[in-house]
Amino acid sequence: MSMSHSVKTNALMTVPPRLKRATRPPRGTSPLIEELERVAATGKADLGAFWRGVEETGTPIVGELDDDGHRTATFLWRGGDELADVVLVANKIADADSYDENRMDRVPGTDVWHLTYRMRSDWRASYTVAPVPADGSRPPENALSAMTRLRRERALAVAEPDDRSSVARWFDALTHARPDPRSRERLDEHHSVVSLPEAPAELRHRVRGDARAGEVTEHRVASRHLDNTRTVWVHRPAVAPAEREPWPVVVLLDGRTWHDLPLAPLLDGLIAEGALPPMLTVMVDSLDPGTRMRELACHDPFVSFLDTELPAWLRNLHPITDDPERTLVAGQSLGGLTSLYAALRAPERFGRVLSQSGSYWWPNVAGTGGESEHMVHLSTEADTLPGRVHLSAGLHEWALIGANRRVHEALCERGTELGRPNGFATLTEYNGGHDRACWRVDLPDGLVALTDDWPRPTGRA
């Protein structure tokens, strides 16, 4: 491996910096709610007709585009006196510091709870709604996911003493969070999605649905470097490279997320259309949250696994390329950090990088005594850079958008010094947050851009 500089990790170093959001999206008004309030005050509101209209339209209710390029998005929940509160939990709009700012209001005398944001018209976010019971009842302890329980512990650990009760209140509300039953779009069984009209369209809505399905196989892969075993899913498309040509490879971190999406049908459609080349996509599981925090934080043994053990194992199944410019590593959050780190540490293996919402704030200064943004320094000092890098980050990711910009700047400056062509490293800034609803839009676009020089078959599937 190149670059001898190594960083030790610990749990404190992988806790994101606790930065409070400087400004919050403004709450707006909705003509629909204003009219309901007027009629409800007379005691003549037809709530059945109101909710039937909402069912037909779907939520949120989206307002007209204004002169500043913004729209209102009105979120609704149906409930009565059995509820003490209804909290809207939109990705990176709501957080542990903003319980009161994200409480819905109730139209007096009705079962209508509402909250309206005024947002730039290309906003996309996943969200849930947390109806908090008036009787104080709590769901089972396992109502929070393992990752959310970990975030709760971390948030309470770093919160100021006066803030801990409000942080606990926030996570207590999250135990009641559920998807919006009237939302027009879902991310998964647990999250709804708001997507305003000018948000970038998802490629999955634009690809042909009749493409021949490839094969996804599930395997267990052991690592001597890591002393553990994990699940790896391999997608092999129906379309193969030209005869005797080895397979290009895409290594996708946090693979369970993408396997469960599922990603394979989208890949099949894009490959059938020629937008993507025939390639093997290797989705690598991250095991449990604690293991993930350790291995996806510039962890050299994990890079050794990706560089040596994983390709050696894969080569027993398929003929794969040794060309780093035909080998891509991709990840999100800490996985985005690791994707670029792996390419800098193992340039002979990885020549293409797709990093979404990379945690380039890493390491937390609280764990290092002052050092932070390690990847900025590594990029500035690198002897070799990847052939192409695609970075993306959300405008609502206030803790990492600045660090992503600084990594991009460092890559471009060092690339100029090393003779890299202009544009070898790109940064996309989207109107969203740290959010799979945004990543699933950007991932295929990034893959298409990074592989446009990889060979395509002359025909179509």
Single-letter code of the amino acid located at 418: L
Q: Rounded to whole angstroms, how far apart are CA atoms 97 and 260?
A: 31
* Nearest C-alpha neighbor of 97 from the set 170, 172, 150: 170
Residue 7 has a pLDDT of: 41
Q: What is the mean pLDDT of residues 350-363?
A: 97
| Confidence check: pLDDT of 142 > 80 | no
pLDDT tens string 58-78: 999 999 999 999 999 999 999
CA distance linking residue 338 with residue 82, whole number of Å? 46
In angstroms, the CA 155 to CA 171 distance is 10
Distances (CA, A) of 89 to 102, 221, 259: 7, 37, 25
The DSSP result for 199-210, as a single string, is: SPPPGGGTS-S-
pLDDT of residue 8: 42
In the predicted model, is pLDDT for residue 156 greater than 90? no
Burial 46-73 (b: 16+ CB within 10 A, else e): ebeebeeebeeeebbbbbeeeeeebbbb
CA atoms within 13 A on the CB side of 393: 26
Of 203 and 356, which is predicted with more confidence? 356
Taking the CB of residue 239, how many other CB atoms lie within 10 A of it?
A: 21
Residue 126 binned pLDDT confidence (cut-offs 50, 70, 90): very high
- What is the number of other CB atoms lying within 10 angstroms of the CB of residue 17? 15
Distances (CA, A) of 309 to 162, 316, 457: 49, 11, 30
Residue 136's pLDDT band, with cuts at 50, 70 and 90, is: confident
With a cut of 80, say whether residue 16 has pLDDT above it. Answer: no
Residue 238 has pLDDT above 80, yes or no: yes
pLDDT per residue over 291-328, tens digit each? 999 999 999 999 999 999 999 999 999 999 999 999 99
Please check the confidence at residue 452 and state whether its pLDDT lies above 50: yes
pLDDT band, very low/low/confident/very high, at 11 (cuts 50, 70, 90): low
**Residue 45 scores a pLDDT above 80:** yes
Whole-number pLDDT of residue 143: 79
Residue 158 has pLDDT above 80, yes or no: no
Dump pLDDT digits (tens) for 390-422: 999 999 999 999 999 999 999 999 999 999 999
Strand 228-236 and strand 215-223: pairing? antiparallel
**Spatial contact of 193 and 124, defined as CB atoms under 8 Å apart:** yes
What are the structural domains of the chain? 31-195 (2.60.40.10), 202-450 (3.40.50.1820)
* pLDDT above 60 for 128: yes
pLDDT (0 to 100) of residue 10: 55
- pLDDT for 169-186, tens place per residue? 889 999 999 999 999 999
- Whether 148 and 174 have beta carbons less than 8 Å apart is answered as yes
User: Which pTM value belongs to this model?
Assistant: 0.92
User: How would residue 205 be classed by pLDDT, with cut points 50, 70 and 90?
Assistant: low
pLDDT for residue 152: 81
Residue 9 is predicted with a pLDDT of: 42
Task: Name the phi and psi angles at 92, rounded to 5.
Answer: 65, 0
Which H or E element spans position 355? strand 352-356
Query: What integer best gives the mean pLDDT of the chain?
Result: 92
- Predicted local confidence at residue 206, as pLDDT: 61
